[in-house]
Amino acid sequence: MQSRFRSDRGLTARMGVTLFLLGLLYVVFVGALIVLLKSWVLVVVVAAGFLGAQYWFSDRVALFAMRGRVVEREEYPELHGVVDRLSTLADMPKPVVAVSDMDMPNAFATGRNPDHAVVCVTTGLLRRLQPQELEGVLAHELSHVAHKDVAVITIASFLGVIAGLIVRFAFYSQLFGGGRRDQNTAVVFAAVMGVSAAVYAISFLLIRALSRYRELAADRAAALLTGRPSALASALTKVSGDIARIPTKDLRTAQAFNAFYFTPALGREPGIAQLFSTHPSLEQRLDQLGRISAELGEAAAPGGA
């Protein structure tokens, strides 16, 4: 079913190119592992098992990791009301609604398709935002579901996860078992680590390039659906400012899920690290929303704080 979120050909093209390149990389990666480990059955079974688990259970894993829980309408009637209105406005299935008991203000969406999606907000976000600001954030998250880029990011990140696990496995195997291995085995493990590290680096860069664009696409779609880009801009400014005041050490657990968040869990602006960021800069996002506001002829601050 086609939602009323404005389609984004640029996002669709980038998702297709990213999946194609990662798929090609995946074939090369699996082929290299089969040659090096001399066991195609083991490689294929493990790879397929991880991919299936990530595709089918990514929503549960994300909720568990971020201490999210599904909430019913009786417990959070206003939150459900906003999700109901946006789902109806966008003509898409209502996702499962969840809340994470965290002071860090943020939100994320996950799930393999619009019929099996979850949108989760933190209690910190609910405390800080006005109703129209919350609506903008939730519209942003629902657009990720409607555009199916949540599923693409989930699948795309699989290869990097596998490569990273193999690097760790090979490293610790050599570290704790090196004395019992012959030279040929050591060479094979070194080759596996080299191939895995290269695959991880390439997939890391491809995923982050896609992630930055999809965040801008979600901002655009949310602003156009609600007709209040200034409310979304206000929410972005509030959330980014509050997160920047949280000590970095308190954000480290959340940083593993930055690609899924409304705004990244960074204690400060990343500077040169922006090249490796999952999100565009706050300035880029606000500039885009300002242009959309001008195009829509929005009043100065009807949806602001």
Whether 1 is covered by a domain: the verdict is no
Higher pLDDT: 62 or 263? It is 263
Number of domains in the chain: 1
Whether 199 is covered by a domain: the verdict is yes
- Phi/psi zone of residue 102: left (φ > 0), alpha (ψ -120 to 50 degrees), beta? beta
Cβ atoms of residues 99 and 68 within 8 Å: yes
Residues 180-214 have pLDDT tens digits of 555 666 676 677 677 777 877 888 888 888 899 99
Least confident residue range of 43-47, 113-117, 288-292: 43-47
Whether 133 is covered by a domain: the verdict is yes
- Cα–Cα distance for residue pair 216/257, rounded to 1 Å: 18
Whether 4 is covered by a domain: the verdict is no
- Cα–Cα distance for residue pair 119/63, rounded to 1 Å: 10
Whether 208 is covered by a domain: the verdict is yes
**Best CA proximity match to 59, nearest among 167, 145, 133, 122:** 145
**Which residue positions form the known binding site for Zn(2+)?**
140, 144, 215
Among residues of the chain, what percentage have pLDDT more than 70? 76
Whether 77 is covered by a domain: the verdict is yes
Residues 29-40 have pLDDT tens digits of 777 777 766 767
**Residue 141 annotated among the catalytic residues of the structure:** yes
Q: What confidence tier does 127 reach under pLDDT thresholds 50, 70, 90?
A: very high
Residues 143-161 have pLDDT tens digits of 999 998 888 887 776 666 6
**Which residue positions form the known binding site?**
140, 144, 215
**Which tokens is 200 given?**
């991880």
Whether 305 is covered by a domain: the verdict is no
Whether 3 is covered by a domain: the verdict is no
Of the residues 72, 133, 135, 141, only one is catalytic, namely 141
Per-residue DSSP letter, 6: P
